[in-house]
Structure 1
Amino acid sequence: LLNQHGSKERYIIVLYLKTQNEQKCFICDSRSPYNLHHNPNSHRVENIITTFQPEHKMSWWQSENGVHEVSIQLDLESMFRFSHLILTFKSFRPAAMLVERSKDFGRTWKVFRYFAEDCANSFPGVSEGPADSIDDLICDSRYSGAEPSTDGEVVLKALDPTFDIHDPYDPTIQELITLTNLRVNFTRLITLGDTLLMRRRRNPQEKYYYALYEMVVRGSCFCNGHASQCIPMDGARGDTFTEPGMVHAKCVCQHNTAGFNCERCQDFYHDAPWRPGGKTDSDVCRRCYCHGHSEKCHFDLARYLATGGVSGGVCDDCRNNRAGPQCDLCGPYYYQDPQRSMDDPNACIPCECNPDGSVDRGLCDPVTGQCVCKQNVEGERCDRCKSGFYGFNRDDPSGCQLCRCNFMGTIRTGNPCDQTTGTCICEPFAFGPQCDQCLPGYWGLGNTVYGCLPCDCDIGGALRTECSSVDGQCECRPNMVGLTCSEPAPGYFLASLDFYIYEAEHAAPLVRDWDVTFRTPDQPITWTGPGFVRVQDGAGLRFNVRNIPATLHYYVVVRYEPEVMCEYPCNCHHVGAYASSCSKFGGQCQCKPNVIGRCCDSCTPLTYGLGPDGCSQCDCDPSGSTAELCDQTTGQCSCREGVTARRCDKCNPGYYGFPLCRRCQCNGLADICDLVTGDCLDCREHSSGPHCERCKDGYVGDPVSGQPCEPCLCPDVNGSGRFFAISCNKDPHSGAPYCECLPGHTGLNCDSCAPGYYGDLRLPGGQCKECCCNNNIDPHDGEACDTVTGECLRCLHNTEGPRCQSCKRGYYGNAFAQDCKEMAGAIWLEFSQSAYPYVTGSSCCTWCSCDWRGIDHTKCPAGSPCFCNQETGQCPCRTGVKGTLCNECEDGYWNLDGESGCQQCNCDPEHGTIYPACDPYTGECLCKPGVIGLFCDDCAPGHDTNFPACEPCHACYHLGEKTVSDVRRDIERIETIRPCPENDRPIFELQNLRNLLDKLQSLANVTAKDELEKLEELLARIR
């Protein structure tokens, strides 16, 4: 309460002036609390608290006489939900007042509503209603005025009942009904005009003061719909005012919510977003599902939206090597054992990636266990080069080098080069270090599946069988042309094999028994020449041959036809022939591709498998087969020893490196290996490596010498939760196993923390963590910090403290930057408060806490928090921000909570404001008289509109404005009057109207013409 009456003062009760016998003057003495019998004249503010006693009107609160601006502020212990306010006055109700609310314990305020007898004059610029929306700010004139002189009420409802509310948790509604503080500001007293006659009357202000019988504030504790009960706050003082039925602030939260107002979800109940209400399942906080690997989680809106509202919880600090939003994945260097469930604490097993061939030194897919290989590496463990690469090397960023082979001359399947030496593996008819040349007798590198094409020089048209390796051109005989010398040059031709034909009808008979017959036009042509000779058995013919060009070996062919023709069936094969019919002459059936025989019942050489599409090529691999021919039924080629498959293109199981198949070298611990690289597959007995030559991580032994792989003890076996090693090996001299410890661990079995690390390895899940000493210890000193608690023991660089975080006594500076300097000339006193300039506190320095809203982050160390100047304590402030901690706006700036710090006021000191500064919280400028607006850039009502002059209007303006306002308001009240036999109030209202009409008539001479016309019209309507 501000301006509370706290000393003796005389006052008058106006209501008693009308009576003859009542006492008129009284004394107010509020120096002691009210007591009905011993101190009935005390009128402190606690008297307005309703006690529901019969004599509650015997006490009230009363303000100082004649003081217009008085405030009553109600401070609540927490956020409450406000319903309405009822003020019952013993005195006149205020001529003007306003009610404000705060949601931040009084730091900022917002106006609920204005109340005034004359809204336009008391609160210029505020609408007089009715409200257009539920949160519209208006001035209400219904609860102001001189009547009644006592028992008058002012009522404020947080939510106007004329508006429908569909969602009580809408932010606009919540803004109106939630508060931590309520303030009633009385700004103007009702006076009857006699205060202007101060010289005639002794003290007229004794009649004018604010007096309240009671102040009723109705509401409830604010629990966001998640509680049905509220209890007193923790640590409440025992002398706090209590009353039966009193509403407390602390909610007893339900629906898995927590917080003072149930404003958040309980820990580990963040799978759905917090919502107010609790009426449906969607409003209840859901438990996170972490598969038993965590008890902490948080809500992630992005995940909630991505899953369509199914789940938004993200588990924190997953145990058992788990990761993922629900601890549903394995962490780095681990993957899910397919034989175990996600809830199993041992379900994540270590990756078995070769660190030389995988990225991130052995990272694998958390689901499949597939290693993430370097660019040119492949294999389940990233332990071999990809096809086309060689030279597996841990120091190579890509893992392997590209084979430098001509792809047109290298083999099409498998690796084009030896993966160890990089030697290229050529196609059968290609050769050279890079397989970039054809063998003699071949040409066209890359034009065939065998690398090069045979020259195929015509044996008769070419001089030799070799051709050009570039274009395949054969060396031709004279007058022969073409790639293979198989065509005659222009102007020449090649004689057919039967070029020299001698007709029988031109021969001489050896005996006379012959007959020459010439073909008639209707006979079919079945022979050469003009006819034929019919000869009998024993006859003979002599041919005279004179045109043979050279002496050679010749074949003599006699063409004849028997006199008697025979009929033979076609017998075309139903699979190998296209149709059942055949040629009329010779009986040849029409065969499908690669099918031969008169009946089309056989495959051509180098083909097999007579079927609906003909016969298929044998395609025997020349590197693995002994011949090009294959079984014409099965297609099986004849393979060399150690080679298998139909085409003889693979090594037998247990062999690798086709075509030079070699036995797999797996030390008896695997039966098969990679057919190309020879790397052993499925090594047994915990062995690993390309030849099963070493033990898996976490095991020790020597498979090469026959020693089995046994679990390492570092200090326990892998997967036990107490395995602190990367791997383990045997000492080459003693043969004893030793562990390769994880960072921070040491000892033969990794059972101790290394210097600079701490932890209790005896506890489940224990591990060694780095001592946090701010780089102020020797990391090689085994006693620099406590190996169990991590407390720093041997601080360097003139620092001290459990984290070496402070300069030791006699030094000052920045311990975090190893910059503690000796205090020259200072005398250290154990409890001195002035050991050095700008230094305070029993520990020599005081912690500075810069306000993050106002600091200039560009002046802070990169990646580090901002600290103040260690001598002055001044934090680095943004423009427009001041204060040692950068927690205030400079004059002329406001809104420290803004994204860019304080904003400039933009007030106009030359025209509308008193000075350039503004309210540091609201930005509102302090206007000159007659000026209004957030930036003081407009004239107030009752002033000339010529800004910035804003001269006041003539006095008659205000008098006429008030009179017209009174008449209009009373007309509205008349329209609501209904006569009632038990109520004489309407008669009283009519009497007041009559008095007002008389006033209007008396003011006719001082009212402007246009206003007078309006008044006359109103008078006519009233009468």
Structure 2
Amino acid sequence: MVGRGGRLSATSTCGLDGPQNYCIIGHLEDEKKCFSCDSRQPYNRYTNPRSHRIENVITTFDPERRMKWWQSENGVHEVSIQLDLETVFQFSHLVLTFKSFRPSAMLVERSKDNGRTWTVFRYFAEDCGSSFPGVPVGAGSSVGDVVCDTRYSGAEPSTGGEVVLKALDPTFQINDLYSPEIQELITMTNLRVNFTRLLTLGDTLLGRRRRNPQDKYYYALYEMVVRGTCFCNGHASQCVPVDSPRGDVVAEPGMVHGRCVCQHNTAGSNCERCRDLYNDSPWRPAGHSDPHPCKKCNCNGHSERCHFDMARYISTGEVSGGVCDECGNNRVGVHCERCRPFYYRDPRRVQNDPDACVPCDCDPVGSLVGGPCDPGTGHCVCKRHVEGDRCDRCRHGFYGLSRENPDGCTACRCNPLGSVETPYPCDPVTGQCFCKPFATGPMCDRCVSGYWGLGNTVHSCLQCDCDIEYSDMCNPLDGQCPCRPNIVGPRCKDPALGYFLAPLDFYLYEAELAAPLQGSIIPRQRIPGQPVTWTGPGFVRVQHGAGLRFTVNNLPVALDYYLVLRYEPEVGVAAPVRPLSPTDVSACISPFCPMGLIPRMESLPSFCSETKLEEFERYRCLEVASQLGPRILPEVCKDLIVSMSALIHNGAVACRCNLIGSYSQSCSKFGGQCNCKPNVISRCCDTCAPNTFGFGPNGCKPCNCDPRGSFLEMCDQASGQCACRPEVSGQRCDRCRPGYFGFPLCRPCQCNGLADLCDPVSGACVDCRDHAAGPHCDRCVDGYYSNLALGEPCQPCLCPDTKASGRFFARSCSKDPNSLHVLCHCEPGHSGPRCDVCSSGFYGNLALPEARCQECQCNNNTDPQDRDSCDPVTGTCLRCLHHTYGSACESCEPGYYGNALAHNCRECRCDPRGTEINMCSPGGSCLCQQSSGQCPCQPGVAGISCDECQQGFWGFASEAGCQPCDCHPSQTPRDRSVLLCVQVTGQCPCHLEFGGRHCDECGENFFQTPDLQCISCDCNVDGTARPSCDHHTGECLCRPGVAGSLCSECAPGHGPPFPDCAICHDCWNLWAENVTMLQGQVERISAVVKQQDPQLHPSYSPWLNKLDAMLDNIRSLIRDPTAETEMTEKLYEQIKYGCLSLPSLQIEGPAEDQEVPCGGQGSRGAVQRCEGHAGRIQAEEEGGKRQIGQPACGGLGRSGEEGEGPECHQSL
């Protein structure tokens, strides 16, 4: 940190605002315990030694450097010290040397973005769990783990204690220091030490007299050492000072600088990028074996800068990724290898010639993109419709060279239907085409005024053919003429939808509506299929001398009109007519229909030519149009009438069809007749036809007056009421009036004066009064009695009360003619003289209002003849049959089950041994489920009668009842969904190697190992008893006469063949004990031989060979229990006396070993082989055993002991 005092800061420093007292715990026994801190000025050994600013912690190598330190304010727990470096450094380690106690808890953080974000390096605490909960304690599992360290906290030492932090823990092996993970750990721009808790002690000496006990608790730091290097990514061998913002350079002796002197063509404060012209390969930090230098870009000498493009680098197979920037000399391209737009390369110059690219000579108006040329030849690139060496003229068939046109020129778009074929389609400058007659426009694409249909004829256009009454101009494209309102069609001859063109006789005035009306209206009914020769409802019969006055007030324009009268002659009469207009008209007097006004064509100014008038008269258009009924107009007449109608009405006339009386809003195009619903007439369908009424959505309904009861056929058009005779009524006069019957011969009803109405057909009286009933009100209703024939009124029956009281229980009553008593005829379920008692099988509380006797609901499980089978008041069933019970005998009684409603209750069949005890009586009967008969079983018991064990249980017949099988889950077959056992014995089905009732022990011929596994004993089946082996040791249990570890051979004293093993002859027993002793001796001799040094004296070899031969014979003898007696005796003699000629030998023992003759002096520890067969075996064997022979020398052959003498030297 040399030279970086200005970059070091602390959040708390004592004495910055003035002197501040503090005490030192280490001076508690001294007279001077407390001191003063004044940090308003920097530290000076002579003038200000009490200043304890943060820069005091920087190492100075001063011999008296312990005279200065940094100190925080008293009692402040959370204090931070922060080092802000001027650039990126690589951190190595941190050492803090404290003057005070080390903190009870602290942490160290680092930042690599100039303090914007921080990452914890490590936590330090005396008690990590309470200070930093959740942080792992102790050593981490990897080098980057954040843990809590307890080694640098605590009260000892009280001063001079250190806190050490190493960025890379040396306990971990780091293979690659340049890996991103390691670089992330050691790279930083800022370091911050956060003290979070002071270490405090008791206040036994200071606390009693001081007001503030916190004066002795603070942080004091002698030295803060931060080790690291400048961060150059391995591309520099030295660093120089970093320029300050003011332009000066801070440099002190021993200061670690941060600006790298980059090598390998790198640049930047930390050599973190390549130099401007060295980006042909990706920048990478230097490695141990490869410095990864930056590669120079190939810019052909036309640029000093380039950048790296990863996509290009990958596409070239990681050969080149440099892209040149800011190419000069009019160059572009990845390597500045091409001329820039509007330039081309002079083929006479080389690639790196600065003057090789020369400007293009192209007209910018006709050239693409403003005038670039081919970069290799200099040829101009013309727009699509431009040609010429300089792209300065339009191609054939195009005109109007323009800069704004992306194609340069516009194609001549002469319409072939209206233009003339010429060598030049249009003017190359203006684009004007050469047109045919009657065609016009720059492209000859439209007709002149008054013509239409370009290209439809030889002369290209047709003359307009519009209606004469409006305009002779039309649309030049489709010939559509301009029409008057609500007229459509190319020639304006058709009305629009919902409109019509009026005929000549459109203005009609019905005689029925004339005033004053002197005559009678003659309605005429329309008959389907016959022509209608009248309008309106019919005709008016005009009497002689009478007149009709018509009101005309709806003419659209004032014109000359023809007056037309329509009639049907009954008598021929001639009379003068005095019209209001000056025109004379002749007419016949007869039944009139309407009067009509027909406009005169010639009175319309300039309507048509003389030719049209002549045609109108020639075809008798006026006479034809005036006719009534179906007519066919000549086409000439129709065209003239249509034109005249459009002129008079200024277009078409609205249909105005009545919404109710017509099917739609449209009408006939000529005449305007709407489509009327049935029995509806008039042009607008707004009037009912004669003899109909009720104008509505369905049209009009026929009157249908019944001629037997009416005077006229017609009815009222609003109500439809016909005119009826006096005793007849109804809208159609088709029924008798009230009080009459028998239409059409209606006569009065016969009801004894007790009803006003009767049935109109049968005459049966309706609504008889005074409780009377019957077709002629000649009897009483139910609940009453009388003799109406005698004129007596009806009296109420008392059964027991009147019918209106609600306590009437009879169907009817009658009067006994003899006793004159009233007899009640009771309803079902009631009995008694007054029907006030419930019958047998019925119940009810008749004292209650509205009560009735109801049938007892006992589901046919009682005796219907038994009056006491149910309660007569409540209806509760009392004497249930068929083993049923309940208020309605609806259930089987306890101990029975089934369907009580079907009379099939059966006795429960429960086994008392398996049924729950509390569900059975001492007598043995048990309760069961009443619908299914299922008995309530004890645990582990199943069956509808509880007479068997459930699956997985056994022992039903035992005293304990059904018990769980408890089969071992892993030692029974796995393919069973339930671990079953034999229900009688409880034996589980075991795997081969397991046995026992629960399969929890080893099976026969298996034994249990210490690790609880069952292993096969492998005993011979023919030689073993049952069980064949011990379940714990695996030892085979042989049957008598058999021996061997697997019981596979005959025992000693038993002869073959196996497995019969018969007992040997008694003579074998004479030698059995000797053979057994020999077997033990052979084993001991074998053990001694194995302990001898193989390097024995050569003189022992013959003896040992002889001894080995004898041992082999002994082994054979022992293995053959049937050896002959002579062989056994012979071998015994050889063993007994064969050792007399053997020399002495050295045998290692517990005493000092030396080679001595048998029985010689000082032979400690020597044990002789043959002596073991006689003396030592005799001493070791129990005293009662028989000895085989006597040794040549007794004892062990030790000096001074038994056995001394010349004979002993001849034996072991």
Asked if Structure 1 and Structure 2 have the same fold, meaning a TM-score greater than 0.5 normalized by the shorter chain, the answer is: no
Structure of higher CA gyration radius = 2
Q: Which protein, 1 or 2, shows the higher relative CO under an 8 Å CA cutoff with sep ≥ 6?
A: 1
Coarse TM-score class (shorter-chain normalised): 0.3 to 0.5
